[in-house]
Structure 1
Amino acid sequence: MFDSVKVIPSAEGNVSKYVFTKATGVGEAVLYRYPDYETRTVICCSTMSGCPVGCRFCGAGDHFVRSFSAEEIVAQVDRCLVDTGVEPLLMKSLQIMFMSMGEPLLNKAGMISALQSLYGKYPNAALLISTIGPDIDYDWVYTISNQIPTIGLQFSIHQSTDDMRDALIPFKKKLDISQIVRVGERWHARTGRKPFFNYCAGDDNSTDMDADRLFLAFNPAVWNATVSVICERNEGTPARNDHQIELAANFSSKLVDRGFDVRVFDPAGQDDIGGGCGQLWFVQQWMRDHPELARPSIGHSLPSVHTPA
């Protein structure tokens, strides 16, 4: 499936970065244990090599190669689970997140087949689709989410206004915040499950005014929230963990005060293996080494995103 797999463990001992490489693209996955694999296992896998969206906070935001096939997506998960040494059905909590690299909803063919395969193999696993909300027909998302009851849906918001969000996520063919709200409400109505909005808390977007804007846009009766720390995309740049953790904790408290059910995600391995969301250090190096394959991701238009392996 892949020509090589490199595993880089974090010094903390509870997270490992997986780099899956072949001649036509590279992917990264991250395997977490909290505090052991039997209690909780989390896998973040890639749906593309690079990404066309061009998010400025993401290490994959500069280049795009191609979408992964369903088999390539599933292979990342399979390898990570084998390395846990634990039977997946015996894990008390197993989460498979499509949020390491790539925009999953721009890889419709790969995602539908991958979700079906993973649900068949690991029926106890939560399958979380994390998306920026591209402007697509969401009927297939509603349909597959009804067919597979373990699918979750999370929208990466990260800013409380569309203007600020446009600067962070320059991809023009995306939904604005009000449109994301409507899609999430429809998904909730059709599945009975709450979607999430994900928010990276920084120095410039974690005020009471930001929390008020989110409360006015997202109904806590429909939406849950995830607050994440900001991870540095460049290798060697400290993540300033204590400060970022404090920002995330304080902003999550603001959202709780406004009625939201909030999760705080503080990924381990940020500073030594790039284990945080969007860091993708090894992908960035591969892109620099393969300029003939790495097309620039300017984020301004919707390219042809499903290219066979």
Structure 2
Amino acid sequence: MSTEVVAVSAVSAEQLQSPSAPAQQIAVEKVNLLGMSRPQMEKFFEDMGEKKFRAGQVMKWIHQFFVTDFAQMTNISGKLREKLEKICEIKAPEVVHKNYSKDGTRKWVFRVGDGEGSLVETVLIPAEHRSGLRRTLCISSQVGCALDCSFCSTGKQGFQRDLSQAEIIGQLWMANYSYMEDVPVLERERSVTNVVMMGMGEPLLNYDAVLNSMRTMLDDFAYGMSKRRVTLSTSGVVPKIDQMVKDIDVALAISLHAPNDELRNELVPINKKYPLEQLIAACQRYIAKDGNESSRKHVTIEYVMLDGVNDHPEHAQQMIRLLKNLPSKINLIPFNPFPHAPYGRSSRNRIISFQKTLSDAGFVCTIRQTRGDDIDAACGQLVGQVADRTRRAEQWKKKVAQQNEILRSQG
């Protein structure tokens, strides 16, 4: 059960049904309805003595018309609105910074707790598509990240905590609302077309909150997104990939970044626990579901291109062998350097050559266009300046300096 629901567990049904009860008798923090999935909200209303269909009504106001004032929910009785006003709220995370790139990319920095380090970022990337304008939102699931992938700036900040459902879905709410602030309530419409759980953190290590948030994204009473347009990206938490088979049908992406265990152990340390053989087998199990409407027809493989590290012709050949029995699309990502990064970006010619090798072998292989790097919104640059609570970044910079000193002495 989410923290948003637990917050009212101490309030009796009689108190909930008595809007006239003195405030001092109900000393409880207001419940944030923003993060509740429909089953959670239906139970919440039933516990209040209300019909569960009220949940669908309220969800539409929140997620389709972006209303935070219960007084504006005109198809709900005044008595219920008064009750909700006393015990509930609709509250997105606090925006402490926002910036819009010259290429149309938008970035928000949200405060999700106390202290300088309690920040997460969300990035919206627009792109022309044959079906029209596509707006893809990259959502964070944790404050920081515990996996410490060697090429990712987020991993150097350490891990602080998981995000709640309200903090996850609030990122999607705010991105949509940013296009609708000046639009009359009943004329508002959802603008974000695609979601990728690919921001700060490993989403499968915050499983329940991410699962319920994705269910809300798919819910017709909320965002009504196609399951093919909601993607979860993981570094390879194998048991949770298998659990997803039972729980939800969304698109799956794998942060691969290396085609052999030795190199991946270095770049993506979780590989030491779940090596490539186990990871590829889990991906095969995930897409084994039958049905034309399933989003599990293939896995997207994400591969950041690091100069002289994982971009050699033999790495492309290893990729071909690794993925030969896995229906997949490969996305090559030019590395986005950050301060003290021990890697450089592969040359354009080398990336194109790598792509050609994979394409000639029959794979659908694209090169991701770098977007939003003028506002530090590109992949691997999220919240690059947050306070480091684990001293991991300090230790990492010291290690890089030592390595550079060794190279100078040898040269």
CA distance in 1, matches of 2:328, 2:112: 39
Query: Where does residue 302 of structure 1 map in the other structure?
Result: none
Q: Please report the RMSD computed on the Cα atoms of aligned residues, expressed in angstroms.
A: 2.8
Q: Of 220, 223, 245, which aligns to 1:122?
A: 223
What is aligned with 1:49? 143
Instruction: Give aligned pairs, total.
Output: 281
Matches within 5 A, 1:105-184: 105-120=204-219, 121-125=222-226, 126-146=229-249, 151-171=250-270, 174-184=273-283
Q: 1:3 to 1:295 in 2, by over 3 A?
A: farther
The equivalent residue for 1:2 is 93
Unaligned runs of 5+ in 2: 1-91, 181-187, 396-411
TM-score, reference length from structure 1: 0.81
Deviation of the 1:275 alpha carbon: 1.7
Equivalent residue letter for 1:88 = R
Q: 1:81 aligns with which of 176, 201, 218?
A: 176
**Contact residue 65 and residue 295 of structure 1 kept, 8 A:** no
Matched, 1:211 2:301: no
Amino acid in structure 2 at the alignment position of 1:185: Q
Letter in 2 for 1:116: R
Q: CA contact under 8 A between 1:64 and 1:296: conserved in structure 2?
A: no
Kept after mapping to 2: 8 A contact 1:14/1:35: no
User: 2:302 is matched with which residue?
Assistant: 198
In structure 1, list runs of 5 or more residues that go unmatched.
Answer: 299-309
| Greater per-residue helix proportion | 2
Higher share of residues assigned strand? 1
SS in 1 for 2:386: helix
Task: Work out the CA distance in 2 between the residues paired with 1:220 and 1:170.
Answer: 24
The one-letter code matched in structure 1 to 2:274 is L
User: Identity across aligned pairs (percent)?
Assistant: 25
Letter paired with 2:386: W
CA change 1:88–1:248 in 2 (3 A) is farther
Equivalence for 1:69: 164
Q: Secondary structure at the match of 1:284?
A: coil
| Equivalent residue for 2:105, pick from 5, 15, 18 | 15
Residue 39 to residue 286, structure 1, CA distance change in 2 (3 Å): same
Supply the AA of the counterpart residue of 2:136: V
Q: Is the 8 A contact 1:200 1:248 kept in 2?
A: no
1:104-154: CA deviation from partner (whole Å, max 9, x where unpaired): 1111111111111111122235111111102434332112333xxxx1101
